[in-house]
Structure 1
């Protein structure tokens, strides 16, 4: 039977060659060491101007932020060598020297951030707000050894800095001067508020879970309110780092439904209904509040796919919402005709200065280039109907809805196929960028075409 000494050797640290305390297993080689032994190894190598490598001999870099200690190894030692482990813990407690308190009140192995730009000569090597970890005091008694997560010069070496150049990290993982966006409408007083989607910069921390944000001044007043021109204290859950969300949308962006949204057998949001992006619900969906009311008289808030919405903007002055229009040419998807020339529709909203969202008769709702549409007056509408009737009597055979495949439409060449809405206005084809209101109908049309 294996003796206790032989079992204890299985749990021996490769640095101190004693029973491991708070054992940590390195990913690079799978070997385990005492937590404090690894920290001393890292600090010694870093202060000697090197990059800490695995003490197990695999030469891989050791992470400065070590993983949590292995609970499985600790429990195994408690079960197999309980007496030796108890003696090891007692000896370590007697020999322990508290070196956690560092200059400036910082803690060794604690997270920090640069409170100002750190220079080497005349060059900035660490930007203000960059996060890092304190290794401990330098031998000179005036500086701290810090490993920053990133340096401007790309070096992986540590930096010796004075305590005044450091500060505690901001809550929520934010950084100084980071651009953020308001997730809610923040009412400050009767005259001042921060509207949803307002953009600002982090300028400091108030401790706890609050940060100070300077929001960018608004170009327009929001009713009787305006954005303050002074720093505002906000909870970290009231703002988020500004970034593009799934589908390329952003928080507080104005959008419109690209199709009718159905719950069960009931249409709850009609195509073209305006809304506002509130947040990113998941990796594939966005939370959008639409400007419609449910039976409970509350805004309709849905988690939608990016393809179920389109950006929204103001329409051109000559094409207000509800205007009847006619397609001047075929409106194309990359490989099929979605809307035939001459088909009438109704303007629902604007997508961008060059695109509008149109619901066509007996067909899909698509985003079409303004140049591919003609606004219909009463006279033009009657003339278009007469021309279409004459053409169908003299040229087109009597074709039912099931004979769409017999219509001979010459497809565009590769050079004519549009790649964007801008090209659509130049080559005579508009690209349909949204999904249809009635997917079954369009599926049949596309299959026939």
Structure 2
């Protein structure tokens, strides 16, 4: 089935951040779009407001007739949907073209100059910076993002179809569906061990991804990773390198070295050395589209950020509230380092919601070590997402491992009263589950209190 014969696109799991970006794309090019998801969220409500019909019951009777024509309907699903899902089973059994999200991304980007951002951390921020840089320099692009860009207020940007920016997701080996012209690998820390078994298999998968580049493609690799490519780093011998870092009023000022030149006095306002690296590789990749380096350096200064990626919710002299998607020990460490660099000496309360029973089990000791660094820790119950519970693995189990006297298991309904009682100078909420839905209420209550 090609784009011309597709009239209808039906999404199973349409509320996912990556799926909803594809839904916006197909709606934007004039296709009929509808879908199913388990629960209503702010994201699904936005899609509905854009004219996309969504229902929340796994029921074939809820699907309008047009989408039941297998000759004109493409069905897209996410691997998080269980195999016994009635609607998905129907489409598989009745001759429909049914594809995973990653396969559809591969189809859409095949005829574009494709930028693919891979890595166990940093994909969403890096791809959002890259999309921002390319847009600011007038590049005709489509960008499919894994978060809501604060620059576009969306997870999808359509400025043309010559170039594309996508996240190359290692989960379920999805990124092997792509054939990029330019790619980067930001990190290869062990993760998704429920899929890979061990970290060596994960690394092998990244090696396979590197081979997916087109014949003249370029691969950018964070310096120190065990894979060959054009390197980038901070204060080292990388091909693209940030040096002479200063901080003024919460903004980094630095020199940016490329193989050809050094640009002095570059500014970037997203806290954390990990974000500096994300900005650096986005800059290096954008050069491959022919964008002038000095213009790209100017555009770095205006990047606003991504929702739930070190997002300031309250930033007052006497109280700071930061929200972050961190759901892996390495990411929690990066958040802690950014806080201590930008807000030294402040008394920090961390609220963390673990994501997945398997990830909590696999990295329990590492989570405990990362969380113990904060002055105080509030731990929510594990968010299961696609998983069934694992016997003996729960928030109590993790709490016991955290070597910090100021730790407590808490329910979401008690968060406000506990935060007020502890009265921290800086509050940070972290996790990839539904903790993000609590942030607006927390901000409102805490702003009122302050």
For normalisation by structure 2, the TM-score amounts to: 0.22
Larger RCO (CA under 8 A, 6+ residues apart): 2
Which is helix-richer, 1 or 2?
Answer: 2
For normalisation by structure 1, the TM-score amounts to: 0.22
- Of the two, which has the highest radius of gyration? 1
